[in-house]
Chains A and B, each alone.
Chain A
Amino acid sequence: MDFLRPASWEEALAAKAEHPTAVPIAGGTDVMVEINFDHRRPEYLMDLNRIGDLSEWEVGEDSVRLGASVPYTRIMEDLSAELPGLALASHTVASPQIRNRGGVGGNLGTASPAGDAHPALLAAGAEVEAESVRGRRLIPIDEFYKGVKRNALEPDELIRAVHVKKADGPQQFSKVGTRNAMVIAVCAFGLALHPETRTVRTGIGSAAPTPVRAKTAEEFLNAALEEGGFWDSGKIITPSVAKQFAELCSGACNPIDDVRGTANYRRHAVGVMARRTLTWTWESYRGARNATEGAA
């Protein structure tokens, strides 16, 4: 095994081009587990910790450019206003020690269906900034996940950052596990209200071979909210609408039975989380709306 220590992003890209099998390591919270258990013996291990700007973020007009190695601790502490869904998801990652090291770039690189960041990224809307010596491209998050632990990266590409849309409305994240810390999700659900476009987006984790959106459920809800004039009136979501939304979210799952839970349980739990996160976010939307009107 060779240990590569690029001192700059350009050096990292050159090294990855020269050694496409090189495994990038940043927080190490996935890679080192595999090495410790001898599940993986990469020919080259490439340390990205020396590249400082991977741990930085920029808040732009419409989105946050989040460096691939920004630790979850920073996201939950410093970005909860701009990226509330991702901040909530970050807070559910493992333990403080892991959150101090791990970042979204690793979640995307590993592309496990159980990665906590995925449902939040899908719901908020995001693009993955991938780069190689051949150039840079932005991969829409909906096209990034290709299979169990497979993503859209080319062998010579590295993830530099992820551009996450800034919240324009309430966002929520919910996750099922046996305790509050050190939990790999049995299943997880992210939901974001986008009042500016009058749309709702979702993300489902750990209930299909890849993280997925519940698109049929989104379309149903978008139409129901529009037809009922909910965005303008800010009235309570009709229980039958919430129920059907939940059922459609369950239907978007394609889960398996495994040690963490059964397929049936996952379908059921995703429905429950969909209903709850919709209620929480909608109540918060109504509250903010009423407060604005009251002030006016």
Chain B
Amino acid sequence: MRVNFTVNGRPQEADDVWEGESLLYVLRERMGLPGSKNACEQGECGSCTVRLDGVPVCSCLVAAGQAQGREVVTVEGLAEFAKDRAEGCATGACGSAAGKGTTLDQAKRWQAGGTDSQTGEGTELAPIQQAFIDAGAVQCGFCTPGLLVAADEMLERNPNPSDADIREALSGNLCRCTGYEKIMDAVRLAAARQSEGV
């Protein structure tokens, strides 16, 4: 079947989608967006977290057909999404979709490269991404995309989270490297920068 939906602010079309296929599979294998990770396939690990009409969900548990006509934001579009939000324009809220968002091509080529991948310098990053780099919250990096999407959404809803709020918001994202402390640091840092307007 064919699925039409918006990914990172741009309309997309996926063809020959199997009816039992997950949104995650479509994003990774058909859209060429491997940022959302495939691990448990049962909603336990959160590494496939994306925004579906603004709401954080496990994309492995959304049937592709359920995304028809809906808006998806993946980690590849997070920088643009955060930028639009900072400018007071959530994805699709102002202007036509054509001029906004991240093109599929841009999204596919996205990397935390820039001039220095260690510091994120020279790359367009969402504040939460920069905070993860600055706090050293990334080790193997597999859980990072899901954590970024979940943490970014929490900071949108709750600009001044307590530690308990952060832990709860990230309770559906497993990390097997860091012990979570650096991740907590990163979210606190992003929240502090956000409130200072840095």
Q: Which residues of A contact B (CB under 8 A)?
A: 1-3, 5, 25, 27-29, 31-33, 35-37, 41-42, 45, 47, 49, 94-98, 100-101, 180-182
Contact = CB atoms under 8 A, between A and B. Distances in A.
Interface stretch (B38-46, B119-127, B184-192): B38-46
Interface stretch (B53-61, B74-82, B90-98, B99-107): B53-61
Given A25-B66, A28-B63, A101-B62, A96 B19 contact: no
B41 A37 contact: yes
B136 interface: no
B150 A28 contact: no
Nearest to A44: B19
Contact of A33 (B18, B41, B57): B41
Contact of B43 (A2, A29, A47, A180): A29
B173 to A, nearest CB: 8
Contacts of B88: none
Interface stretch (B6-14, B28-36, B164-172): B164-172
Contacts of B60: 32, 36
A33 B63 contact: no
B55 A100 contact: yes
Contacts of B169: 96
B40 to A, nearest CB: 9
A105 to B, nearest CB: 15
Given A2-B19, A29-B43, A32-B22, A100 B65 contact: no
Given A37-B42, A95-B46, 16 more contacts: A3-B65, A28-B63, A29-B43, A29-B61, A32-B60, A33-B41, A33-B61, A36-B41, A47-B66, A96-B150, A97-B43, A97-B49, A97-B58, A100-B56, A180-B171, A181-B171
A47 B65 contact: yes
B1 interface: yes
B111 interface: no
B68 interface: yes
Contact of A97 (B19, B41, B57, B68): B57
Interface-centre pick from A49, A95, A101 (highest chain B CB count, 10 A)? A95
B63 A32 contact: yes
A82 B53 CA distance: 28
Contacts of A33: 41-43, 61
Contact of B20 (A1, A96, A101): A1
Contacts of B20: 1, 35, 41-42, 45
Q: Report whether over half of chain A's contact residues are helix, strand or loop; otherwise say mixed.
A: loop
Interface of B: 1, 18-20, 22, 41-44, 46, 49, 55-58, 60-63, 65-66, 68, 150, 168-169, 171-173
B66 A49 contact: yes
A250 to B, nearest CB: 30
B154 to A, nearest CB: 8
7 contacts: A28-B61, A32-B61, A36-B22, A45-B63, A47-B66, A181-B168, A182-B44
Nearest to A182: B44
A185 to B, nearest CB: 15
Given A96-B171, A96-B172, A100-B57, A28 B42 contact: no
A96 B108 CA distance: 28
Report the 4 A-B pairs with minimum CB-CB distance, sorted nearest first: A95-B172, A181-B171, A1-B19, A3-B19
A36 B65 CA distance: 15
A1 to B, nearest CB: 4
B56 A97 contact: yes
Contacts of A101: 57-58, 61-62
B104 to A, nearest CB: 24
Interface-centre pick from A42, A94, A97, A101 (highest chain B CB count, 10 A)? A97
Contact of B68 (A5, A31, A32): A5
Contacts of A180: 171
B1 to A, nearest CB: 6
A41 B61 CA distance: 15
Contact of A25 (B56, B58, B63, B172): B63
Nearest to A41: B20
A28 B62 CA distance: 6
Contacts of B63: 3, 25, 28, 31-32, 35, 45, 47
Contacts of A37: 41-42
A29 B48 CA distance: 14
Contacts of A1: 18-20
B4 to A, nearest CB: 12
A77 to B, nearest CB: 11
